[in-house]
Amino acid sequence: MNPNPKLAVAVGAALLAVTILIVPHQRPATGQTPPTSGGSVDPALIEDLVAANRILAQEGVLDAYGHVSVRHPSDPNRYLMSRSLAPILVTANDIMEYDLDSNPLDPKDRRSVLERFIHGEIYKVRKDVRAVIHSHSPSVVPFGVTQVPMRPIFHGASFLWVGVPVWDSRDAGDPAGAAMLVRNSALGKSLALTLGDKRVALMRGHGNVVVAPDVKTAVRYAINTEVNARLLAIAIGIGGPINYISAEEGAARDKAEGDYERVWELWKKKALGK
């Protein structure tokens, strides 16, 4: 695709020795062109991606599994995500680069997560999305297997006003071998279609997927979705009609100024100790 790649020098800080090395290559005489890197990435973005992994684990959204990706800032057909590793342990050295078919560009000995197709297929159809999170967000799971729609009751989760679809791997003709996991592009595409233009989709019996225009917003969406689910279950237990946040309110908040850097700083401090 890129016939004349340049050598990109990974900018490396002590903590952020980015491992996305790009090897210049000759176009092969015949056959398929191997995918090429989107190029070097600002270490600050990698640091945010590492922080996102750790914050989401610290805040109880990610367990030993789940993953966070960002679209490559220079090449919309590439994304960056950690190798298969518990999110609380992720460092900059674990970040790998993928094409949108979720092939790793330079895997070395690093194992990719099974469900990376979630990310690639969403990036294909959602041009506005630059960050994707897949989690087993615990308070969210019950809403994927029951009949009450996930709707916002907490203003921090007002972004859910657009609706939260539920995806069931069986509706995607899940082959037996996939066993509820998004192990291939077909299942990833099905999930992306269910997500549509929304921000969050529940995955029945599994967890959710959260998308946003940037990784900090995606983290905020994921954590507030968990909080909202926890509070909504309590509200249902209290009983009576629930006074949800309305579409008008949600839309107004989407447009309003917010002081979101404040919470990112706190989460980062708690998760990274700095």
Q: Indicate the residue among 30 and 243 with the shorter CB distance to its own copies.
A: 243
50-84 burial code (b ≥16 CB/10 A, e <16): bbbbbbbbbbebbbebbbbbbbbeebebbbbbbbb
DSSP-H helix ranges across the chain: 43-58, 117-125, 141-144, 185-195, 215-238, 247-255, 260-272
In the complex, minimum distance from the CB of residue 24 to its own copies, in angstroms, rounded to a whole number? 33
Q: Indicate the residue among 124 and 230 with the shorter CB distance to its own copies.
A: 230
For residues 212 and 69, the answer to whether their CB atoms sit within 8 Å is no
Q: Indicate the residue among 128 and 248 with the shorter CB distance to its own copies.
A: 248
Residue 232, both tokens: 């909504």
**Contact residues for 184 (Cβ-Cβ < 8 A; gap 6+):** 117, 178
Is 59 one of the annotated active-site residues of the chain? Answer: no
In the complex, minimum distance from the CB of residue 66 to its own copies, in angstroms, rounded to a whole number? 11
H or E, element range at 166: strand 166-167
Question: What CA–CA distance (Å, rounded) separates 71 from 66?
Answer: 17
In the complex, minimum distance from the CB of residue 89 to its own copies, in angstroms, rounded to a whole number? 7
In the complex, minimum distance from the CB of residue 255 to its own copies, in angstroms, rounded to a whole number? 7
Question: Which entry of 97, 115, 121, 226 is annotated as an active-site residue?
Answer: 115
Q: How many CB atoms lie within 10 A of CB 172?
A: 18
Q: Indicate the residue among 127 and 262 with the shorter CB distance to its own copies.
A: 262
What are the backbone angles phi and psi of residue 172, rounded to the nearest 5°?
A: -90, 10
3-state secondary structure of 32: coil
Q: Indicate the residue among 23 and 236 with the shorter CB distance to its own copies.
A: 236
In the complex, minimum distance from the CB of residue 170 to its own copies, in angstroms, rounded to a whole number? 8
Residues labelled catalytic: 115
